Amino acid sequence: MKIGFIGLGIMGKPMAKNLVKAGYELIVSDKYAKNAVEELAAEGAAAAETNAEVGAQADILITMVPNSPEVKEALFGENGAAQTLRPGSIVLDCSSIDPVASREISVELAKKGVELMDAPVSGGEPKAIDGTLAFMVGGRPEIFNKVKPLLDAMGASAVLCGDTGAGNVTKLCNQIVVAVNIAAVAEALTLGQQCGVEPEKIFQAIKGGLAGSAVMNAKALMMMNQNFKPGFRINLHIKDLNNVVEAAAKYDSPIPLTQSVLEMMKILRRDGDASCDHSALAKYYQKLTNEKLHH
């Protein structure tokens, strides 16, 4: 079985590397990251010049790109992979995109006899590197069973959430919880520091109780160390929350907390922090208080 992989960015490259380590035969492509293609080739993957070349050889094609337009370009654009995918092949889209777009892509691929599974991930770059991502999957159960070994090679969990698009709906829910949680951690540590208590002491005291979370464990120390090197960039989280807004509008679902955090992120983007990690929500409070969190 040959695996195609399109999109070797901050998440895609380590995911592809883990598939190579697991013994899968990979062919990779990314016209925006030629160095990453060369790096994967040095580790045993085959390098393709175009997405169509990847599609022609792939039994299962994985896409890991920023948003809906990029997925459509990779599949249906010039030299797109869908031109050469064989009937019976599978597209496993690990990008975080609009669920409506997932369903549209599924319909187009079905005309060619190709199945789509939407399987966005959570965990950021660290979990992509160590192969412990969480996959939220939408599609048919029998196809899920076929791709599950690949997901297990890249992640620690993979849950079939429903039909096509359900994976991306679940990812939107995930991104709400993560965004609001990060903002709450930043707000709480800022308050504590302004009241004269060290943020590190607050973190140590509350992380083992009900307030504790994977988000707090991952992001609180980054905030205190003023380390905003991206594991997941502000601009990508804005993209996800914009997709939340679109979905919420379609189904008339209230999202006041999401809207608030989205506005905070947009202010950070305006001020030049779009490429920072989303833990840089702490910088929003720093702008208001003129006081940096410290360790």
Catalytic residues: 171
- Strands 115-118, 155-162: pairing kind: unpaired
SS3 220: helix
SS3 165: coil
Going from the C-alpha of 239 to that of each of 8, 66, 136, 236, 293, the distances in angstroms are 19, 9, 18, 5, 27
User: b or e along 91-125 (b: 16 or more beta carbons within 10 Å of the residue's beta carbon)?
Assistant: bbbbbbbbbebbbbbbeebeeeebbbbbbbbbbbb
User: b or e along 247-275 (b: 16 or more beta carbons within 10 Å of the residue's beta carbon)?
Assistant: bbeeeeeebeebeebbebbbebbeeebbe
For residues 30 and 276, give the distance between their C-alpha atoms in angstroms, rounded to a whole number.
23
